[in-house]
Amino acid sequence: MKFHTLLMAAAITVAPLFVNAQRIKLVEGSVSPLKGITELNTEFTYDNVKVGEFSNEDDYIHKKTEEYNKKEAGKAN
């Protein structure tokens, strides 16, 4: 029982060293325009995203569907 308690205490002590969820690394510019803002709406666009070696998602899905159906008919449905 003492071992479990000691292990838990060690984990709680060491865990904050690895947690950096809200640390930011400023690459360029300034964050001063954000002073006083409590909420920020962010929108991501995926217009030019590549999937592996494919230039778009549809080509990837088409190839994988063919591969799965070649292995076992109807598997990709």
What string of DSSP letters covers 12-56? HHHHHHH--TT-----SS-SGGGTT----------TT--BTTBSS
What does the pLDDT look like over 13-58, one tens digit per residue?
Answer: 888 877 767 777 889 999 899 899 999 999 999 888 888 899 888 8
Strand partners, 54: 51
What is the structure's pLDDT at 24?
77
Higher-pLDDT residue of 76 and 52 is 52
pTM > 0.75: yes or no: no
Q: Which tokens sit at 10?
A: 């060690």
What is the structure's pLDDT at 76?
66
Mean pLDDT on 61-71: 89
